[in-house]
Structure 1
Amino acid sequence: MAADRIASLTLSHVVLPLENPVSDAKVLTGRQKPLTETVLLFVEVTTEQGFEGMGFSYSKRAGGPAQYAHLKEIAEVAIGQDPSDIAKIYESLMWAGASVGRSGVATQAVAALDVALHDLKARRAGLPLAKLLGAHRDSCRVYNTSGGFLQASVEEIKEKATASLEAGIGGIKIKVGQPDWAEDLRRVAALREHLGDTPFMVDANQQWDRARARRMCRELERFDLIWIEEPLDAWDAVGHADLSRTFDTPIATGEMLTSVPEHMALIDAGYRGIVQPDAPRIGGITPFLKFATLAAHAGLALAPHYAMEIHLHLAAAYPTEPWVEHFEWLNPLFEERIDIRDGRMWVPDRPGLGFTLSDQMRKLTVETAKFSA
């Protein structure tokens, strides 16, 4: 077969409002405003032979327009390249935007195109992406976060948790890290009593210093949690590593990190917890898989952050049993839904990621840019 070439790219800047604003500990500590929307960068790629792929990246509160602007500036270098040469294309995009570095917005913008190329490759093969990568399982354990934010009362969280479990979700995560640590413990105790032996996680969203984190981790040991997430600043690799070696309850972190080297700092510090890389944030599926190989070699458990439409496939290809985070927020953007039952999220049998863009996604598109040969 003759080599194929990328014939066209379409970039879409999409603003998806949330039904209700949500607050985590960063809001209660005054560091951020409530979250009201998710901003996404979609990329649709078409080849000369007629194959197609779709990928996306996202931001919360800030950075969405910057992602779109950056990829719009450099995307043209992918035109005419062989879509199978994903790593080569990635490098060419990195060099095209070299002056702004290789993390943060620079790689998050490229992530959308990188995901689209992996989607295209799997579609062309007629396989779900997980199968193309080499799946270890057809489903992954799933937990819900969207019902556990801090603006909700304990009773509201209980109701949402019950609804999630009845819908087939296997675990529940709630937010902690508010200024009144005693209130955190009261909420955790109330949810643990409500949930019984259901898998239960908490997320402090980086709001404790090292002393408070040690005290809170000690207090939280009695609740038999699956993990305590982001007890410290996301870039405090040494602090997270220390906590992971000190307490029986696993420590989880990594969702905010935006490059493989930033994630590797955890391993280099002796981290023994759960890693939570986010493909759109780390720069796409290409760097995600690079770090996943290193994490597996280090014996670390995996629980990717957000973007379940992408991460289900990547988690299914991880050697040890992972968790996938359920957020229904992006549902309006896609025609299909993921099968969730028996506490697990099931890999679609459709080729690629297994999703097509909805009419609602088109209506929510603020601007587009097109590139062609």
Structure 2
Amino acid sequence: MAMPSDSIGFSVRRIDAFAFRVPIEAPVHTSFGIMRDRPAVFIRIEDTHGGFGWGEVFANWPAAGAEHRVNLLMDDVAAMTIGQSWPSPREMFLHLVRATRIRALQCGEPGPFAQVIAGLDIAGWDLVARRAGKPLAKMLSADAAERVDTYASGIKVDDAPGTIPASRAAGFTRFKVKVGFGANDIEKVLALADVNLAGELLFVDANQAWSFTEAREFIDRTMDASLGWVEEPLPVFAAREEWAGLAEMGVPIAGGENIFGEQDFGQAVSDNILSVIQPDLVKWGGISGCFEVAKRVREGGKLYCPHFLGGGIGLAASAQLLAAAGGAGMLEVDVNMNPLRSLFHLGGARQGAGYWEIGSEPGLGVVDLPEALFEFLTLHRTFM
């Protein structure tokens, strides 16, 4: 699975960035906050020959993040990207990481800079794969899987008794519920486990909500529920000894959406604490960074399951990257209402059948943004 190097040079002549916000009736709850609308930032880059590619930038948090990311891209990063001849998207990625490091430190915003660079990287890979006439997965690896398994996600534990049957009816057999809201979560999870059908899997995601004592109690009391994994039971900055203590209890521990950089992911692979490693390619790394991580995860005998809870472009990129990495993990599919995801129709009805087919469309399969999205547009800027 070596990173391809032939015919992937390009030069950017134009960048467009779009911020969208969709009002929603049912807020999306996590242990650390509530999403009262669904935001997204999509990027389109165009090369000097008229080729183009699409990317996505993380915009879920903070609440004002989407418009900020567009302005950050246009006012701080775009000028570093335009007009140079890049041998590959990865070379652009590495250059932008180096070139923005001091700016990111100066303003205390390494995350937003990493997210903008990730979006540009995704767009770069979409561009070169489209030019080659190959799905991105096949551009990255000739041995890419034809499809990847999916699981239903974004389900608050209180809503799970209604949402899981609806997801099951859509074809899902794997479900992840959000916990970390209170002591009653244990009883609620046990009740869900009691009604799961044979062959189904149940995962839980605490979103870093617990102390070590709380996490240990949850795992101990839900041991008989045979959970597929417990995700982010502790803050990412918790002591290694605490993470190791939970891993020793025997339930798979998952995490990675809040790890940044190949070095830190390398440590996560070698630590033998996380059984499931979940980079989020719109938060850090794009394709260039996360493909390298995915290879190390596989070589380390762990499960690579990309984290994602955003719009349709990032979801498609996550699916393509998982397929390129062999397809042995699972793709996270948010089942909450979000036109910024569902209007793209990528993967078609196939994603609701428990898997996502990569298909034959070049790149990510996105030619234009769906016209229906533009009623939700809050900001559009161009740099050329």
Q: Please state which band the TM-score falls in when normalised by the shorter chain.
A: 0.7 to 0.9
* Contact 1:84/1:121 (<8 A) preserved: no
Q: Which of 325, 329, 336 pairs up with 2:345? A: 336
Q: Which of 120, 144, 152 pairs up with 2:152? A: 144
Cα-to-partner distance string for 1:42-98 (whole Å, 9 max, x where unaligned): 211112222111101122231333322221122122212335521222233224322
Give the match's secondary structure for 1:215: helix
The percent identity for this pair of structures is 25
Structure 1 gap segments, 5+ residues each? 27-31
Structure 2 gap segments, 5+ residues each? 1-6, 309-313
**1:352 corresponding residue in structure 2:** 363
Cα-to-partner distance string for 1:280-317 (whole Å, 9 max, x where unaligned): 11231111112222222222111111142221111112
Structure 2 distance, partners of 1:309, 1:237, is 34
Give the match's secondary structure for 1:44: strand
Give the match's secondary structure for 2:91: helix
* Contact 1:167/1:340 (<8 A) preserved: no
**1:51 corresponding residue in structure 2:** 51
* Contact 2:8/2:87 (<8 A) preserved: no
Structure 2 distance, partners of 1:74, 1:353, is 23
Structure 2 distance, partners of 1:74, 1:41, is 15
Deviates more, 1:65-74 or 1:236-245: 236-245
Cα distance, 1:240 vs. partner?
A: 6.4
* Contact 1:37/1:61 (<8 A) preserved: no
Aligned AA (1:119):
D
Aligned AA (1:351):
P
**2:178 corresponding residue in structure 1:** 175
* Contact 1:103/1:283 (<8 A) preserved: no
In the TM superposition, what are the counterparts of 1:191-340 in structure 2 within 5 Å? 191-197=192-198, 198-236=200-238, 238-239=240-241, 241-243=243-245, 245-306=247-308, 307-319=314-326, 321-328=328-335, 329-332=337-340, 334-338=343-347, 339-340=350-351
Structure 2 distance, partners of 1:3, 1:267, is 31
Aligned AA (1:188):
V
**1:11 corresponding residue in structure 2:** 17
* Contact 1:202/1:227 (<8 A) preserved: yes
Structure 2 distance, partners of 1:331, 1:349, is 24
Cα distance, 1:196 vs. partner?
A: 2.2
Give the match's secondary structure for 1:174: strand
Cα distance, 1:4 vs. partner?
A: 4.8
Aligned AA (2:115):
Q
Structure 2 distance, partners of 1:107, 1:79, is 18
* Contact 1:3/1:82 (<8 A) preserved: yes
Deviates more, 1:211-220 or 1:325-334: 325-334
* Contact 1:240/1:251 (<8 A) preserved: no
Structure 2 distance, partners of 1:2, 1:130, is 14
* Contact 1:275/1:303 (<8 A) preserved: yes
In the TM superposition, what are the counterparts of 1:9-158 in structure 2 within 5 Å? 9-26=15-32, 32=33, 34-62=34-62, 63-72=65-74, 73-82=76-85, 84-99=87-102, 100-101=104-105, 103-134=110-141, 135-146=143-154, 148-150=155-157, 152-153=158-159, 157-158=160-161
Cα distance, 1:320 vs. partner?
A: 6.2
- TM-score by structure 2 length? 0.86
Give the match's secondary structure for 2:351: strand
Cα-to-partner distance string for 1:248-275 (whole Å, 9 max, x where unaligned): 3211111122333343342353324100
Structure 2 distance, partners of 1:173, 1:335, is 23
Deviates more, 1:164-173 or 1:262-271: 262-271
* Contact 1:40/1:56 (<8 A) preserved: yes
The two structures, once aligned, show a CA RMSD in angstroms of 2.4
Structure 2 distance, partners of 1:270, 1:262, is 13
Q: Using a 3 Å threshold, how does the CA distance of structure 1 residues 18 and 178 change in structure 2: closer, same or farther? A: same
Structure 1 distance, partners of 2:332, 2:247, is 24
Structure 2 distance, partners of 1:120, 1:2, is 9
Structure 2 distance, partners of 1:233, 1:354, is 36
Cα distance, 1:237 vs. partner?
A: 6.4
Cα distance, 1:241 vs. partner?
A: 4.5
- TM-score by structure 1 length? 0.88
How many residues align? The count is 359
Give the match's secondary structure for 2:58: strand
Give the match's secondary structure for 1:97: helix
Cα-to-partner distance string for 1:108-139 (whole Å, 9 max, x where unaligned): 11111111011111111111111111144211
Structure 2 distance, partners of 1:262, 1:50, is 37
Aligned AA (1:270):
N
